[in-house]
Amino acid sequence: MGLIQAAASAIGSTLADSWLEVIEPDTMTENTLMVSGVQVRKGKGSNTKSSSNSVSNGSVIHVYPNTMMLLMDSGKIVDYCAQEGYYKVSASTAPSLFNGELKDTLKDTWERFKFGGVPSSTQKVFYINLAEIKGIRFGTKNPVNYFDSFYNSELFLRAHGTYSIKITDPLKFYMEAIPKGASKVNVEDINEQMLNEFLDALQSAINQMSVDGVRISMITSKSRELSKYMSKTLDEEWNELRGIEICSVGIASISYDDESKKLINMRNQGAMMSNATIREGFVQSSVAQGLQNAGSNTGNMGGFVAMGMGMNAAGGFMQAASQTNAQQMAAEQAAAQQQQQPANGWTCKCGTVNTGNFCTNCGEKKPAASGSWKCSCGTENTGNFCTNCGSKKPASDEWTCSCGTVNKGNFCNNCGAKRP
């Protein structure tokens, strides 16, 4: 028994009226994996004794896009088709094997399973859904450990979301994943085993992300990377066992256990308080809050007296803390300026960083470096010899004017400029 292509695509009821029977897939939803074929038109005359368990010679089977039809005879797969169109059943035709876009995928599987199945005396048609099956929900039953190098701690999280699968080898999927005797199978019918395997692979994938240094707070935005991890972990096994693969994984929410929340909050607060500006703001706000609390007591002056005593007792600490904060802020500002300042640059009194001899903002002349001297060639030096021409540093009572003249007095012998 085999198939002969009757038409390249569906052309309406006119074609159906020409055949004994027309078989189409039963109702399929977005979560349907397999359905049986149903007779939408039964033949008359010689076919009056046809039943749902037989496919008459000469009948037509309709194959829709993103489906693969399996033609069964006595429990054996005798032909299949994954190419859209109408196909005539012929008892005298060998298997035609219309692969559609699955040519390479099905070649080896057909040789392995073409005589498989449970013996029976019926002819049936089944349809496998080749579209992506989306929205399969998952959630970790127990917290998954995750070492985060940023927090330098072992944290624990729970993940919830959805994933999608696609049947890539329908023959293998039918033989290995479909329960025997089933006429319709949805995802939830076989999802218990798959979900357990998925969660095991998810934990392995999350652990691999930890090894790769991904911060725990970034996991929800790493759906594509997580899909790749899952593919490496699970696809090879699922393809080999059932002919399916993971298409995508979407993390809807990440939650942490109570201990992990404490560690994360502690680390974040510590990072904030390491900033001197934030720390000083905290000191000042604490003082202000204390004054406000004391002032809210309108019954007597006890609140202000207590506040005064507290301020006297803690005044030294707060003053020292503010001084420390100010020193750190000044050091941070100086370091920032140092990072921004070029190697040969200098900072003017107005705060502008310059590289020339005069400030580009206020025109102030570049200050002379401590212990520097100006050579007659115009180069400013700090050593005993000029870095440009090699001239020796003049005696201490000599000085070089901006015009290049070497002088000993307080005024330049050439231009009259005063000794700097």
How would DSSP label each residue in 309-370?
HHHHHHHHHHHHHHHHHHHHHHHHHHHHHHHHS-TT-EE-TTS-EESSSB-TTT-PBPPPPT
pLDDT in tens, 127-173: 999 999 999 998 888 888 888 887 777 888 888 888 899 998 888 89
Q: Is 57 exposed, middle or buried (0-12, 13-18, 19+ CB in 10 A)?
A: middle
What is the pTM for the complete model shown?
A: 0.56
Could you tell me which residues are beta bridge partners of residue 251?
161
In the numeric block, which tokens belong to residue 148?
């985060």
What DSSP state is assigned to residue 176? H
Calculate ∠ Cα 277-279-282, nearest 5°: 110
What DSSP state is assigned to residue 234? I
List domains and CATH numbers for the chain: 2-129 (no CATH), 133-261 (3.30.479.30)
Calculate ∠ Cα 72-76-79, nearest 5°: 55
Percent of the chain with pLDDT over 90: 9
The answer to whether residues 117 and 77 touch, using CB atoms and an 8 Å cutoff, is: yes
Q: Which residue has the higher pLDDT, 59 or 283?
A: 59
pLDDT at 96 over 90: no
pLDDT, average across residues 309-335: 59
pLDDT at 67 over 90: yes
For the four alpha carbons of 43, 47, 48 and 51, in that order, the dihedral sign comes to: negative
Q: Give the end-to-end CA distance of the chain in Å, rounded to a whole number.
A: 111
Q: Chain centroid to CA 109: how far? A: 35
